[in-house]
Amino acid sequence: MTSYSGVVWDGLLRIKGASIIAVESLRFDSPRSHIVEQTSETVRWQAWGCGYPMALLLDIDNAAEAVLEISVGTRLITGPGYGGHGSDGPRRISFAPAENGTLSVRVADLLSRGPRELDLGILERQLQVDLVSTPGPLTTELRFTDSSPRPGVNPYWMRVVQSDLETGWTSPVFVDYCPAVS
């Protein structure tokens, strides 16, 4: 689940052909975010987010036969902005109904077809279902060549997303490109 605006995600996941053994929430950073209910066939959650990915990590049995049915409803967090540099009372918020959606995914299809996504409106709000990748190396080397740089100063930076969804960015590296004159 990702979004670049304040959004409340109310979700329900049902599993068929398998059982849920355990559920772990990742980046449920708001104290209002939580798993509401969990059984061997369902998980209900409410997650408050604002511009960062959040996830539920499921440990299931019989993955070859498992089908996930996910329903999500979203509400935008609205209300007046902060004012008075803290001298005003607490901020009052309200909610505006936003997109709802459902997605049905065979877990076995994720192996052959890759992740499934459901777009939920503007600002990159989306629900994605994918398999957890196996841990990779702790170090790596990267080479990059811009095949069509623009004349002048070009900024480049790298974003790293860890398996726990924490993100790191490099500071920009600026390259002044002067095309060859023929």
- Residue 42's pLDDT is what? 97
Place of tokens 């996504």: 117
- Which range has the top average pLDDT, 63-72, 93-102, 140-149? 63-72
* Rg value, the chain, Cα: 21
User: What does the mean pLDDT of the chain come to?
Assistant: 86
3-class SS at 82? coil
- pLDDT tens digits, one per residue of 9-46: 999 999 999 999 999 998 888 899 999 999 999 999 99
Q: Which of 82-91, 100-109, 126-135 has the lowest mean pLDDT?
A: 82-91
Distance CA 116, CA 118 (A): 7
- pLDDT tens digits, one per residue of 134-182: 777 778 888 889 999 999 999 999 888 777 777 788 899 999 999 888 7
- Residue 86's pLDDT is what? 58
For residue 30, give the amino acid letter: S
- 107, pLDDT greater than 70: yes
Distance CA 110, CA 136 (A): 19
Greater confidence (1 vs 127) lies with: 127
The token pair that represents 8 in the structure block: 């409340």
Mean pLDDT of 59-78: 92
Residue 11 and residue 29 in contact, taking contact as beta carbons nearer than 8 Å: no
Total-model pTM: 0.73
- pLDDT tens digits, one per residue of 122-146: 767 888 899 887 777 778 888 889 9
The token pair that represents 106 in the structure block: 């065979």
Mean pLDDT of 60-70: 94
Mean pLDDT of 60-85: 83
- 8, pLDDT greater than 80: yes
